Structure 1
Amino acid sequence: MKAKVFQVGLLVASIFAVTSMAHAEDVVIQPLAIESYSKDFKVSTQEAERRLKIESQLDYIVQKLNEQFGESIASVYFDNGQDFKLVVRTTKKGKTERQIIDLSSQLSKEYSLPIDVVANSPRNFRSIQNIIKNQKSTIAKKYDGFQTIGYDPKNDAIYLSFYEPDITNQNEIKSSLKKVSGMDTIIAFLAAPIALTAGESGGGHMNYSYVDSLCTGGFTGTMNGKLGILTATHCVYDKTISSYNNNYYAPVSVGTPIIPETTSHEIAFLPLNTTSIVGSV
């Protein structure tokens, strides 16, 4: 499960009450999602549905944590193993961490969900994003096969991927990149380089105005009379996208993403400011 990330917010001293939170039992999960989760994580369909209902409430939990502890949060993510739990990584010990633990305890009782609070000092989400942004170009210049860089919240590590078939070069990369800006790394070697997919089914890169990242569009189509592309919700949620690039035309500016109300649907529609687009569904 992908980790949820944060914008920086203000620290509020008081702990909020969770009585106004939407109850997970009121959420309807599609049977296909339940079946897929059950197979992926080897749990019963009943347990899969329970977990997915809880996960559908993540935006509420994230919002409340961010409002109070934004500067002290590194990441929040679900551990989908046999011991299903939510993990909150904090940057500070002492009073702030105790407040987050108190808040997590309330949420844990509300949803019968174990929540671990892990000290992650001294890095918060902003500092991790800065590391990724600053190191991306440096690594790309040094290694021709460099593909992606990101953050693995479960292991609190920088994730790097390369296309490098030569074993000697792989060993050199692993040896020289054991740490990046003081953070441990997880390095993956891909069977083939990441390539731009055919424009007939979308596939172009989306450019972000302030985040160095890589996301691609999916199928092209029309929604509410507007041309656009389908893409993953996490690629457009709470991000500023400046343009969309396709093999068949120059970069196109984009409109406001249309995002589903529940996080259990990982698909969104991104309108494009153009009167024609190659490919349609």
Structure 2
Amino acid sequence: MTVLADPFAQPFLMHALLAGSAIAAACGLVGYFLVLRAQVFTGDALSHVAFTGALAALALGYDLRLGLFGATIAAALLLGALGRSGRADDVVIGSVFSWVLGLGVFFLTLYTTSRSTHGNAGVSVLFGSIFGLSAGQARTAALIAAAVGLLLLAIARPLLFASLDEAVATARGVPVRLLGFAFLALVGAAAAEATQAVGALLLLGLLAAPAGAAQRLAHSPYPGLALSCALAVGELWAGLALAYAVPGMPPSFAILACATAVYAAAFAVRPRRRRHPNRPGPTLARTLEERRVRQAPRAP
């Protein structure tokens, strides 16, 4: 009984659970739409931007989170402004990766040589420091992540419609472009929060793996959205427990190992049939078709 109670007496673990649970839930919700809208590569781009933004803030003497949120949200909105060229052509995103990463290395060098005597800032940004969060940082992270999740749920219905059939949603008066900007801003905020949990280098796994597993296992959107959120939180808990049980194991690695294992299991249990990445599956297509028939104006 003492052994089981010991972990919950550790403040650093309780802070990690508080912040990590909210961050994982937000990433699970946001990631589901990233996978559905075939924008997973956007999350990869934001991981590079998060590293550079965080190190730029530190080098200039500002709080790390200011650089994280400013850089990731601005980059996400920029990708939204590119429209279809940024969504369909991977070169638009991939061509700036090396430059952005090199800029981050420059800011890291500037920070370590002029503002810090310690060289672990880059490691913390790259791989996360969820066990190093203070009580105040954990509460702030949990509140921001909860706000991201609630805002996404508020736009989930029209966003789902726009994601599955953009042309019909536009014809029905859904503000597709505005929804796209709002969604990408939430992606940027979730990426900034995920950087504190698993690091900029690994945040894509927390955004994509639970959502990918949920889309393989769930038959319809809303259960899939809930399953993606539940898987992300469960994988984070499992990763924290594994990292606590094995002191030499980094928590970010443990979390992503659990996420990858769950995705691999989902892939083995229910392999997905090949289809176009932006085309809804049979169940979703049937639902949309039935909705169109019901809402179509009848001839007098």
Q: TM-score, normalised on structure 1?
A: 0.27
Ranked by relative contact order (alpha carbons within 8 Å, sequence separation 6 or more), the top structure is 2
Higher helix share: 2
Higher strand share: 1
Q: TM-score, normalised on structure 2?
A: 0.25
